Chains A and B, each alone.
Chain A
Amino acid sequence: AQKITQTQPGMFVQEKEAVTLDCTYDTSDPSYGLFWYKQPSSGEMIFLIYQGSYDQQNATEGRYSLNFQKARKSANLVISASQLGDSAMYFCAMREAVGNFNKFYFGSGTKLNVKP
């Protein structure tokens, strides 16, 4: 089974509107971390937001918030007031402990286009 699933290959949003990028994950580990990264065309993966599996509240970082629904194993990214510079690929990721090691899993990404 896929560890991280992003079902939206591409999304369009109007500038200044909010947009939700979907992410579901699969793990049996009680301790895990969920991340969202932004990758512009330059290639760099930019960390946006982190949610720990034990965190009670949804994470927020400026215009980014993570809608964490643990029972549904979903970790959607919400971007409020979209800007043209938000156009990029967005990756959901999960880090879990596997024995004494860690493994990091990425989704296939969602390409977001912000229209003026």
Chain B
Amino acid sequence: KAGVTQTPRYLIKTRGQQVTLSCSPISGHRSVSWYQQTPGQGLQFLFEYFSETQRNKGNFPGRFSGRQFSNSRSEMNVSTLELGDSALYLCASSLVRGPGNTIYFGEGSWLTVV
């Protein structure tokens, strides 16, 4: 059974550009969440999608957005990139929502903004 797949794995962007990251959850998983990981701030929750609707959002500016498609695949977009957006972006999926549900992560997308 394939795990969570994130693309691209590595990318370099210039300040001011925008970037789109993609996440394919484990087959059958309908909940997808995104996290940003930096050495200084650790792991921070970005947003969670379930049934194509954003159900929860972390404390990030509006430049960070996302969406989920009917097949549960999700994308996140960062516009007007800043140097501080350089981070590992992790996507996670779970079967159903609920505090007892295990979430599984992808390998992440390493974004460098120069």
Interface residues of A (CB under 8 A from B): 29, 31-33, 35, 37, 42-47, 50, 52-53, 91, 95-98, 100-106, 108-109
Contact = CB atoms under 8 A, between A and B. Distances in A.
Interface stretch (B63-71, B76-84, B103-111): B103-111
B108 A44 contact: yes
| Interface of B: prevailing SS | strand
Contacts of B108: 43-45
B96 to A, nearest CB: 10
B33 interface: yes
Contacts of B90: 43, 45
B99 A29 contact: yes
Contacts of B100: 31, 33, 50, 52, 95
B114 interface: no
Given A102-B48, A104-B33, A97 B105 contact: no
Contacts of A52: 99-100
A97 to B, nearest CB: 5
A97 B98 contact: yes
Interface string B40-72: 001101001000000110000000000000000
Contact of A96 (B42, B99, B105, B107): B99
Residue among A33, A53, A102, A105 with max Cβ neighbours from chain B (10 Å) = A102
